[in-house]
Amino acid sequence: MNNQDATAAATAAAGAMGLVGFIIIAAILAFAVWIYWRIASKAGYSGALSLLMFIPLVNFIILIIFAFSEWPIETQLKAARGGLPLQP
């Protein structure tokens, strides 16, 4: 095998590994979007809010909103119970 064949083989292998890596990263990102979408939906927010989790600094703001604000689902639950707290 001469030097050009070795270079071509190495380039093809690197391209294949890059493609596999891209597919794996795309699958992980799609899974993350799905997870964030489910969390936002269960909290009563729009699932599209989950796309903001991929913007740096905005993701921390969204997490703070999720952590410290009253979720829409909690508001609906309070209204359904007549504003009374849950009895143990």
Distance CA 17, CA 68 (A): 43
Q: Are 52 and 62 in contact (CB under 8 A)?
A: yes
Count how many residues are written for the chain: 88
Q: Are 36 and 50 in contact (CB under 8 A)?
A: yes
Please enumerate in sequence order all residues whose Cβ is within 8 A of that of 7, keeping only pairs 6 or more positions apart, or say none.
none
- pLDDT (tens digit, 9 = 90+) per residue, 27-85? 999 999 999 899 888 888 888 888 888 899 998 998 898 888 888 888 888 888 876 65
Torsion from C-alpha of 24, 27, 59, 44, nearest 10 degrees: -160
Q: Where are the domains of the chain?
A: 3-80
pLDDT for res 84:
61
pLDDT for res 87:
55
pLDDT for res 83:
64
Q: Which residue in 28, 23, 24, 51 sits closest to 39, CA to CA? A: 51
- pLDDT (tens digit, 9 = 90+) per residue, 4-32? 888 888 888 889 999 999 999 999 999 99
Q: Is the pTM of this model over 0.75?
A: no
2, pLDDT greater than 70: yes
pLDDT for res 86:
56
